[in-house]
Amino acid sequence: MDFDLTPEQRGLRRETIAFAQAELGAGTEEDDRASRFPAADWARCAEHGVLGWPVPVRYGGRGLDPLTTMIALEALGYGCRDNGLVFAVNNHLWGCAIYLLLHGTQEQKTRYLKPMCDGELVGAHALSEPDAGSDVLGLRTTAERDGDHYVLNGTKWFVSNGPVADVFVVLARTGGDAPGDGAPGDGAPGGAPGGGRPQDRLSAFLVTADLPGVRRTREFTKLGLRTTPMGAVEFDGARVPAANLIGREGAGYAIFNATIEWERAFMFAGHLGVMERLLEGAVAHASSRRQFGRPIGGFQAVAHEIADMKIRLELARLILYRVGWLKRERRLALQDATIAKIFVSESLVQTAMAAVRVHGARGYLEGFELERELRDALGGPIFAGTSAVQRGILAELLGLRGVLSGDPEGR
């Protein structure tokens, strides 16, 4: 087991930090206050190659392996103080581009990946709906085949990047009645109307924002990560070319499950950089701030807060790097990604809270950045599947049945 970075990975880390510190986040405070997407910084990320880190060179990307991509994203999170921009980049990569990389046709990859790497197209994942979030099988958006098109109808909510996105990965129902419509066997495996399983009713599509019938109808105001716009997208008879079907019809649920482990882990790589940045700031403040005749770092209560920040950082790094290594080796990482999602997202919240406590009043006030860091961190245990849902998934992976279905008999 070799825990050292390669010389190339260390060089990429230094290069990324230098780029992010010099060129990104200059207007973060104002952009956060206005909930404004930093389009100029997005363009700089594209020019630097960030938007194509995991994309093969032949499609316009940089072709980094999964572990090296994770290391680069960690460095981006450390160097860029605009956590919303980093979150937008991650949604673009792990909510959209990865679906094309893993499951798209050659034509889809050739047509869409290069402009996504170049920053010409912003990607998003349109999954959640007003009445369906973690319950993916409960989606009501429909896609009906009509010749060489599918006609989409429905509403997607909480779409990160939605108000500025040019292309969406959309999961929609292509067979059977919607859940809760009173259909016999509704929600039971093998009991779907017309035969088949409920998970075979969903399909995945690549939908561009310029199609007639696609409307970005609402933008939500959030507690944190405000420079990543979030909104609603409506499909009203939108005719999507059948060539934009990702995989085969009915494979949407399987594609989602095969892809989600990338989002659950890689989206949180930037959290490592934020945790390290917060730790360094806390150490510097505790060393220079004096009370009762000595630096506050000399008080056990403060010193222990900082020690715990370091423990969380190193443990989070180990589990995330493990996922990156597993994916580099083309191995499954669902259990490890689930653990990583829970631990890393919750660790950042705890570290941000600790940083606020170490800085006292400065941590609570606007203008000292820490209150924004805490607001941004609070989203982590919610997006990409809440911590409660992830713990249920982990319990089922460990052999406990009926945890998510609510079936006390474990059927």
**309-367 pLDDT per residue, tens:** 999 999 999 999 999 999 999 999 999 999 999 999 999 999 999 999 999 999 999 98
Please tell me the predicted confidence (pLDDT) of residue 126. 96
Q: What percent of the chain has pLDDT over 70?
A: 93
User: At residue 28, does pLDDT exceed 90?
Assistant: yes
Phi, psi of 119 (to 5 degrees): 85, 5
The answer as to whether 260 is a domain residue is no
Cα–Cα separations (whole angstroms), residue 340 to 67, 94, 230, 233, 387: 14, 15, 24, 30, 11
pLDDT at residue 368 tops 50: yes
**pLDDT reported for residue 406:** 53
Residues 221 and 168 in one domain: yes
Whether 90 and 189 map to the same domain: the answer is no
pLDDT-derived band at 405, boundaries 50, 70, 90: low
Residue 177 predicted with pLDDT over 60: yes
Residue-level pLDDT at 195: 47
Bin 104: left if φ > 0, else alpha if -120 < ψ < 50, else beta.
beta
What CATH number does the domain containing 15 carry?
1.10.540.10
Tell me the two tokens of residue 153: 């109808």
- pLDDT grade for 1, boundaries at 50, 70 and 90: confident
Under the banding of pLDDT at 50, 70 and 90, the label for residue 186 is: very low
- For residue 407, being part of any structural domain is answered with no
Are 183 and 279 contained in the same domain? no
Instruction: Tell me the pLDDT of the chain averaged across its residues.
Output: 93
Rounded distance between C-alpha atoms, residue 165 and residue 160, angstroms: 9
Mean pLDDT of 9-29: 97
- Known catalytic residues are 263
Q: What is the per-residue pLDDT across 195-212, written as a single tens digit (0 to 9) for each? A: 467 788 999 999 999 999
pLDDT at res. 176: 66
Q: Which of 98, 117, 136 is the last residue of a domain?
A: 117
Q: Is the per-residue pLDDT at 183 higher than 50?
A: no
Q: What is the pLDDT of residue 259?
A: 93
Single-letter amino acid code for the residue at 110? T
Q: Which of the four pLDDT bands, split at 50, 70 and 90, describes residue 133?
A: confident
pLDDT band at 401 (very low <50, low <70, confident <90, very high): confident
pLDDT of residue 388: 95
Q: Is residue 376 one of the residues assigned to a domain? A: yes
Average pLDDT value for residue range 178-183:
52
Looking at 69, 88, 117, the residue that finishes a domain is 117
Phi and psi, residue 252, nearest 5°: -60, -40
pLDDT above 90 covers what percent of the chain?
A: 86
Q: Strand pairing partners for 213?
A: none
Residue 404 lies in a domain: no
Residue 289 pLDDT > 80: yes
* 184 pLDDT higher than 60: no
Are 265 and 185 contacting, i.e. CB atoms less than 8 angstroms apart? no
Residues 112 and 127 in one domain: no
Average pLDDT over residues 154-168: 97
Answer for the pair 128, 206: CB distance below 8 angstroms, yes or no.
Answer: no
| Same-domain check for residues 280 and 207 | no
Q: What is the pLDDT of residue 403?
A: 73
pLDDT at 192 over 50: no
pLDDT for residue 249 is more than 70 = yes
Asked if 389 and 134 count as a contact pair (C-beta separation under 8 A), the reply is yes
Euclidean distance between CA atoms 402 and 406, whole angstroms: 5
Give one DSSP letter per residue of 307-351, joined into a string: HHHHHHHHHHHHHHHHHHHHHHTT---HHHHHHHHHHHHHHHHHH
The pLDDT assigned to 185 comes to: 37
Same domain, residue pair 30 and 63: yes
Report d(CA 363, CA 167) in Å as an integer: 38
Note whether 127 and 112 are same-domain residues. no
Residue 143 covered by a domain: yes
* Per-residue pLDDT at 290: 95
Q: Which of 82-86, 217-221, 257-261 has the highest mean pLDDT?
A: 82-86
What domain range is 197 assigned to?
A: 123-249
Helix pair 334-359, 387-397: axis angle to 10 deg: 140
| 287, 297 Cβ separation under 8 angstroms | yes
CA distances from 215 to 158, 164, 169, 192, 211 (A): 14, 12, 15, 31, 9
Q: With contact defined as beta carbons under 8 Å apart, do 81 and 25 qualify? A: yes
Q: Is the pLDDT of residue 171 over 50?
A: yes
Three-state secondary-structure class, residue 407: coil
Based on the fold, state whether residues 206 and 99 are members of the same structural domain.
no
Is the same domain home to 318 and 302? Answer: yes
Q: Where does a domain end: 60, 87, 117? A: 117
pLDDT of the residue at 410: 40
Q: What is the pLDDT of residue 243?
A: 97
Q: Do 229 and 193 share a structural domain? A: yes
Range from 159-163, 169-173, 316-320, 366-370 carrying the lowest mean pLDDT: 366-370
86 CB neighbour count, 10 Å cutoff:
31
Q: 26-35, 148-157, 185-194: lowest mean pLDDT where? A: 185-194
Q: Are residues 281 and 380 in the same domain?
A: yes
Length of the chain: 411
- Of 255, 288, 257, 270, the C-alpha closest to 396 is 257
**41 closest CA partner among 61, 27, 59:** 27
The CATH number given to whatever domain includes residue 238 is 2.40.110.10
Domains contained in the chain, number: 3
Is 161 a member of any domain? yes
Q: Looking at the structure, do residues 42 and 102 belong to the same domain, yes or no?
A: yes
